[in-house]
């Protein structure tokens, strides 16, 4: 094998990403964030007809710095089997302390909107977002709080946005272009931010394996909030900014149903920081064990220096203000950690991939051997 500068870096990243069999309590990405760009959706045409189509803006949206692109507004997504008993969103103030900006605990909430895909189906956008009813998955006519300890089954999903409404849909508007008729809300902003969860991921007991494709694969993840407002699960890559790299961060995710991995929670970034393969993304080293019997509590902290830490720790509290020392000690005391250093090399193969078919916003993986081949060739000639 011949090694060539960039090629070597890429090969190393891929090898490191596959050594995932270490059981840990903290999964850390270092050097998260880079200088890159993506394409926002600029047009959603005839969405309810067979002739529907989408267009991406040819003018790219640039991002730069720690935790980017997840430094942009994000929405928080949940897939069953799962119950959520507490949710907290925090941003750091100038002293580095964490202030709660959004919260849910089963009976009380601030600044959260529960949505689910229970709306009209479109051949290019999939099902539209609606307000979620108290069961998390039915359509409600207005914002409704999830019932305490609501269990959603395999494949079922809901998401949380803030309660700050978007202005009108349109290029250059506060929320960009979004699908008409949906409850459109801002995601959770900030470079230095933290999400906390108290949740369970019990073994699936309600639906059969033959009935769903994501059987017993619970997950909690973040998407650039632009993605679900246009199309989370689309077969047309032009209907969302996902393919061009606006960002996904999988916090706790069962990735497949093989015996050996069904009780392992992995963490994966989907963008172009050191890889051209956005489908596979960058999986951190190590996994956090999924406790199927009892409540788990923890979350993800995005620090100002591009260190992102996913952890489970029973010391986690949902107080209105949490000192940075406390957060540091939850993470430190959680136990063993596995750290993945992200590459400083970035790729923006958006122009290569605009016309390729994509289904995303999810955690499902699709191979892109053809693009990889082109990419490998490009590297060879660098
Ligand atoms: C609801 O939550 C808010 C924000 O944390 C808190 O200030 C308020 O006291 C809570 N109300 C109740 C009834 O628990
Ligand atoms: C939505 O429509 C597409 C194509 O028109 C179809 O493939 C898909 O199965 C539909 N989804 C649902 C949930 O009905
Ligand atoms: C709610 O969250 C949004 C998005 O992060 C933020 O802009 C807003 O300030 C928050 N509202 C409150 C009352 O904290
Ligand atoms: C399941 O996911 C894990 C973690 O990404 C991976 O190591 C394993 O190869 C996957 N198994 C299958 C059969 O895809
Ligand atoms: C955390 O608490 C759960 C029950 O709430 C318990 O099952 C688990 O063992 C605890 N984990 C640690 C590391 O103490
Ligand atoms: C996506 O957009 C590109 C560039 O405008 C276009 O060539 C391609 O046909 C579009 N793909 C689909 C499925 O409409």
Q: In the 3-class helix/strand/coil scheme, how is 103-140 assigned residue by residue?
A: EECCCCEECCEEEECCCCEECCCEECCEEECCCCCCEE
Taking CA atoms only, the protein residue closest to ligand 5 atom 6 is 294
Return the closest-CA partner of residue 152 out of 117, 201, 198, 211: 201
The more confidently predicted of residues 356 and 234 is: 234
Mean residue pLDDT of the chain comes to 88
Task: Report the separation in Å between the CA atom of 91 and the middle of ligand 3, taken as the mean of its atom positions.
Answer: 10
* pLDDT band, residue 372 (cuts 50/70/90): very low
Distance of CA 12 to the CA centre of its chain: 24
CB neighbour list of residue 290: distance below 8 Å, 6 or more residues apart: 201, 218, 252, 254, 262, 263, 264, 265, 296
Q: What H or E segment, with its residue span, contains residue 189?
A: none
Taking CA atoms only, the protein residue closest to ligand 2 atom 3 is 123
pLDDT-above-70 percentage for the chain: 86
Q: Considering Cα of 229, then 233, then 237, then 241, what sign does the dihedral take?
A: positive
Dist CA 163 CA 148 (whole Å): 19
Atom of ligand 5 nearest to the CA of 25: 13
Distance of CA 186 to the CA centre of its chain: 15
Please list, residue by residue across 105-125, b when 16 or more beta carbons sit within 10 angstroms of its beta carbon and e when fewer do: ebeebebbbbbbbbbeebebb
Q: What H or E segment, with its residue span, contains residue 344?
A: none
The more confidently predicted of residues 348 and 326 is: 326
* pLDDT band, residue 259 (cuts 50/70/90): confident
The model's pTM:
0.89
The more confidently predicted of residues 4 and 94 is: 94
Ligand 2 site: residues with CB under 6 angstroms? 121, 123, 127
Judge whether residue 375 has pLDDT over 60: no
Judge whether residue 298 has pLDDT over 70: yes
Task: Report the separation in Å between the CA atom of 320 and the middle of ligand 3, taken as the mean of its atom positions.
Answer: 14
Taking CA atoms only, the protein residue closest to ligand 1 atom 10 is 108
Instruction: Please name every residue paired with 282 in a beta bridge, in sequence order, or none if there are none.
Output: 269
pLDDT digits (tens, 9 = 90+) for 204-248: 999 999 999 999 999 999 999 999 999 999 989 999 999 999 999
* pLDDT band, residue 324 (cuts 50/70/90): very high
Return the closest-CA partner of residue 92 out of 116, 62, 66, 59: 66
Judge whether residue 379 has pLDDT over 80: no
Supply the pLDDT for residue 37.
95
Residue pair 135/150 in contact (Cβ under 8 Å)? The answer is: yes
Judge whether residue 361 has pLDDT over 80: no
Dist CA 222 CA 98 (whole Å): 19
User: Among all ligands shown, which has an atom nearest to the Cα of 296?
Assistant: 5
pLDDT-above-90 percentage for the chain: 81
Dist CA 99 CA 102 (whole Å): 9
Supply the pLDDT for residue 21.
84
Return the closest-CA partner of residue 231 out of 159, 127, 78: 127
Instruction: Please name every residue paired with 188 in a beta bridge, in sequence order, or none if there are none.
Output: 74
* pLDDT band, residue 377 (cuts 50/70/90): very low
Task: Report the separation in Å between the CA atom of 107 and the middle of ligand 1, taken as the mean of its atom positions.
Answer: 9
pLDDT digits (tens, 9 = 90+) for 108-121: 999 999 999 999 99
pLDDT digits (tens, 9 = 90+) for 123-176: 999 999 999 999 999 999 999 999 999 999 999 999 999 999 999 999 999 999
Task: Report the separation in Å between the CA atom of 176 and the middle of ligand 2, taken as the mean of its atom positions.
Answer: 25
Supply the pLDDT for residue 168.
98
């Amino acid at each position: 094998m011949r090694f060539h500068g960039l090629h070597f870096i890429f090969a190393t990243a891929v090898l490191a990403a596959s050594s995932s069999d270490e059981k840990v309590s903290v999964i850390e990405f270092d050097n998260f964030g880079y200088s890159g760009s993506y394409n926002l959706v600029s047009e959603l045409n005839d969405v309810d007809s067979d002739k529907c189509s989408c267009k991406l803006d040819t003018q790219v949206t640039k991002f730069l710095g720690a935790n980017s692109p997840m430094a942009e507004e994000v929405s928080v997504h949940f897939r069953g089997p799962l119950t959520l008993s507490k949710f907290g969103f925090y941003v750091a103030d100038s002293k580095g302390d964490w202030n709660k900006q959004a919260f849910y605990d089963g009976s009380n909430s601030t600044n959260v909107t529960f949505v689910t895909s229970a709306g009209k189906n479109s051949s290019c956008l999939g099902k539209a977002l609606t307000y979620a009813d108290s069961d998390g998955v039915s359509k409600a006519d207005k914002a409704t709080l999830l019932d305490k300890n609501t269990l959603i089954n395999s494949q079922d999903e809901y998401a949380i946005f803030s309660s700050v409404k978007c202005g009108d849909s349109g290029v250059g508007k506060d929320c960009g272009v979004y699908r008409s008729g949906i409850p459109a809300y801002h995601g959770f902003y900030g470079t230095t931010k933290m999400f906390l969860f108290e949740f369970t991921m019990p073994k699936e007991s309600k639906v059969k394996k033959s009935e769903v494709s994501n059987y017993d694969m619970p997950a909690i993840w973040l998407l650039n909030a632009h993605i679900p407002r246009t199309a989370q699960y689309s077969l047309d890559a032009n209907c969302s900014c996902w393919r061009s790299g606006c960002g996904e961060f999988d916090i706790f995710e069962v990735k497949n149903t093989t015996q050996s991995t069904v009780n392992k929670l992995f963490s994966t970034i989907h963008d172009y920081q050191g890889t051209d393969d956005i489908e596979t993304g960058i999986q951190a080293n190590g996994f956090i064990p999924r406790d199927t019997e009892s409540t788990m509590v923890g979350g993800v902290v995005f620090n100002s220096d591009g260190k992102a830490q996913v952890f489970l720790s029973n010391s986690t509290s949902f107080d209105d203000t949490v000192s940075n020392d406390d957060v540091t000690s939850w993470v430190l005391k959680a136990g063993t950690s596995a750290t993945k250093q992200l590459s400083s090399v970035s790729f923006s193969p958006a122009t290569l991939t605009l016309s390729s078919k994509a289904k995303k916003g999810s955690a499902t993986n699709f191979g892109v051997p053809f693009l990889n081949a082109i990419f490998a060739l490009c590297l060879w000639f660098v």
